[in-house]
Amino acid sequence: LEEAAFQLQQIFRIDISIALNILGIESMRAGHCRAAFTCFKLAADRGYSKAQFNVGLCYEHGRGTEKDLEKAGFYYCQAASSHHPMAQYRHARFLLQHGPGSCWHRQHKAVALLERAAGAGITEAQAYLGVFYMRGLQPQEKRGLKYLLQAANSGDAQSRYHVGVCYEQGLGVQRDPAEALRHYRQSAAAGHGLARERLRA
């Protein structure tokens, strides 16, 4: 009986959190940012990762509350620890730009989070890792190209342009001007200005 009661409490807690988060999303869409933040915060404090992510967004952009990057980082961290892929990406970005501790430690933790988010299909994380591995202190061009291709295949025109650069310059792959041209054309067709310039050149 105690186990059944505990399970019911868990279901009730989760259902309330989901409802509060949905109410927050609807309030945000209607332009009621303060009400949205209140709903997100109530659900987040009950441990609901989607709401924790939304609270992080509110703090990062100052929607419905004062802008506070430290609090944004805290809520992204909470959601990321519950395997929320977009929160993993956002928390990684926070660590790289504002996080405490040594540079090496922050970078190591951030890359692990980005890898998880990229593996879950987050295009932004794939693109970020692609550029990170291409331009890092110790470039890993093949690894960078792998992530750039993933992001490009998810429709990211910027990453498609970078893939073209890789083929043009032989970064992580054998030089292939025809393949570079193909990627530049696809990127330009998606509206990327630098790809248009490379095509003209």
pLDDT digits (tens, 9 = 90+) for 52-111: 999 999 999 999 999 999 999 999 999 999 999 999 999 999 998 876 666 777 888 999
- Model confidence at 135, in pLDDT bands (50, 70, 90)? confident
The domains of the chain, with CATH numbers, are 121-200 (1.25.40.10)
> Alpha-carbon distance 69 to 49, whole Å?
18
Strand segments, DSSP code E, in the chain are none
The pTM score is 0.81
Q: Treating both helix axes as pointing N-terminal to C-terminal, what angle do 69-81 and 49-61 enclose, rounded to 10 degrees?
A: 160
